[in-house]
Amino acid sequence: MKTNRIFKTPKSARLFAKAKAVIPGGVNSPVRAFQSVGGIPLFIEKALGPYLMDADGHRFIDYVLSWGPMIVGHAHPQVIKAIQMAIKKGTSYGAPCEGEIELAKTMVQMVPSLEQVRLVNSGTEAVMSAVRVARAYTQRPRILKFEGCYHGHADYLLVKAGSGLATLGIPDSPGVPEAIANLTITAPYNDFRVTQTMIESHAADLAAVIIEPIAGNMGVVPPHPEFLPWLREITARHEILLIFDEVITGFRVHKGGAQGLFGIQPDLTCLGKIIGGGFPIGAYGGRKDVMQLVAPAGPVYQAGTLSGNPVAVAAGLETLRLLKRPGFYNDLEAKARELAEGLADAAKSARVPYYQTRMGSMLTGFFTHEPVTDYASAKKADTGRYAKFFHGMLKRGSYFAPSQFEATFLSTAHKDSHIRQTIAAARAVFQTLD
């Protein structure tokens, strides 16, 4: 392994130039391009345990973990073995197979509110499908989402809030017709008053309220302790379905997801990321009376050529088996606490304004001295300072997310020595930030 001190990435630079010729922006998902931190994205050659290895031969302790899925680390021997066994039996059938039942059964057993579940191929697809079922069930068109929550890139979910008491959605992206964005209303995360106003004034045509029960896509923002119980109560009162988007939090914060952690039962749940063990997958499920509307049991159409793919299912099942082991989440929790406390302490020593959030093994250090409770307060973070932190850490061998508004994730492959190494690097980097 080369030392990362002399940090040059000529191979990544060459690959990025080539990629840009044939792929828009050189990447297949925007945040990978390092635009918000500047510089050239690293092209990855391989990943093993807690490490990423780039094309120029550098090794990094990985705190992105493919944006969450790799909770047992990269290329876990048991997951690889399960994939190899599966792959020998063919890679897609377009017909049902037994593994799908096992994965569905495992999810139903582990996630409290799931009675039935349908597999899809991404988190985006899971959310799209859950919203369609919610609209069919309630026979209402509108949905409410929270500012700063990401639910995949379906048209009506690419809606950013306007300022203040934003009412009707403004499309976040060209290509999203206003007529469609108008079906989405938004409220600030953790804001009881605005949420109540929005729900009460739109109750008659509101199909669902969708929320990340722990926000992970504006950086990690935990819910106010009363917010989710209150949301459960008010949605039920108005016969609006409550959808938990647990694409990140599912199997991340607890073996029953955020709903298991908090003891709240949504009507529908979206899953993804961890349940594929690194393969493309998603799932949506919940109350049986609602899920029975999905074709062919019911009239709501939703399908997928590769859905329930036997290799993805095998990788996901093995991952879920591993995290059922006793002590799995305690171990993650302890290491995440150590990392969060170490980073916060390093910031404090260097007198850098910093606000640390954490729920289980997902955390964010915001470069602001004010508490972060919603999108507006998250946005106060100094992204320039984050960019410096990011590049300083990269140079010293730790790969954090290339944006302030993302989560830092841990896996069970991260050992105390990795955490200590990262904290030591952070101590040095924070000294350069004031």
The answer to whether 152 contacts ligand PLP (rule: CB under 6 A) is yes
Tell me if 127 contacts ligand PLP by CB under 6 A: yes
Closest CA to 228 of 209, 251, 250, 247: 209
Find the binder of ligand PLP among 9, 12, 113, 122 (CB under 6 A): 122
Which residue's structure tokens are 């029953």?
256
26, 89, 161, 178, 225 from 209: Cα distances, Å: 35, 41, 15, 20, 18
- 147-to-169, 415, 421 alpha-carbon distances in Å: 11, 35, 35
Nearer to ligand PLP, 52 or 283 (CB): 283
Does residue 169 touch ligand PLP according to CB under 6 A? no
Strands 170-171 and 159-160: antiparallel
Give the count of residues interacting with ligand PLP (CB under 6 A).
15
To ligand PLP, the closest distance from the beta carbon of 69 in angstroms equals 9
> Could you give the string, one character per residue 62-91, with x where binding to ligand PLP holds by CB under 6 A and - elsewhere?
------------------------------
Helix (H), strand (E) at residue 160: strand 159-160
Least distance from ligand PLP to the Cβ atom of residue 248, Å? 4
Interface with ligand PLP, residue 364, by CB under 6 A: no
Catalytic positions: 150, 245, 273
- Residue among 151, 287, 385, 396 that touches ligand PLP (CB under 6 A): 151
User: Hey, how many other C-beta atoms are within 10 angstroms of the C-beta on 283?
Assistant: 31
CA dihedral 278, 280, 286, 291 (to 10 degrees): -160
Residue 259 touching ligand PLP (CB under 6 A): no
CA distances for 1 relative to 5, 219, 309, 400, angstroms: 12, 32, 36, 20
Q: Which residues pair with 44 in a beta bridge?
A: 54
**Residue 423's CB: how many other CB atoms inside 10 A?**
17
Shortest separation between residue 415's beta carbon and ligand PLP, angstroms:
26
Nearer to ligand PLP, 112 or 280 (CB): 280
* Interface with ligand PLP (CB under 6 A), residue from 41, 50, 99, 123: 123
Preceding omega of 24 cis (within 30 degrees of 0):
no
Q: Which of 43, 150, 389, 405 binds ligand PLP (CB under 6 A)?
A: 150
Tokens 């705190």: give the residue. Answer: 63
In the complex, the smallest distance separating the C-beta of residue 276 from ligand PLP, rounded to whole angstroms, is: 9
Comparison of 68 and 342: residue with beta carbon closer to ligand PLP = 68
What is the DSSP track for 167-228?
-B-EESSTTS-HHHHTTEEEE-TT-HHHHHHHHHHHGGGEEEEEE-SSB-SSS-BPPPTTHH
| Contact call for residue 171 and ligand PLP (CB under 6 A) | no
For residues 198-257, which are near ligand PLP according to CB under 6 A? Answer: 212, 216-217, 245, 247-248
φ, ψ at 262 (rounded to 5°): -95, -15
Q: Which residue is nearest to ligand PLP (CB)?
A: 123
Residue among 272, 277, 397, 402 that touches ligand PLP (CB under 6 A): 272
240 vs 281 by CB, closer to ligand PLP: 281
Give yes or no for residue 155 binding ligand PLP (CB under 6 A). Answer: no
Q: Is 383 helix (H, G, I), strand (E, B) or coil?
A: helix
**Cα 134 from Cα 157, distance rounded (Å):** 14
Judged by CB under 6 A, the stretch of 147-155, 193-201, 353-361, 364-372 that binds ligand PLP is 147-155
Residue 140 lies near ligand PLP (rule: CB under 6 A): no
List residues binding ligand PLP (CB under 6 A).
Answer: 122-124, 127, 150-152, 212, 216-217, 245, 247-248, 272, 282
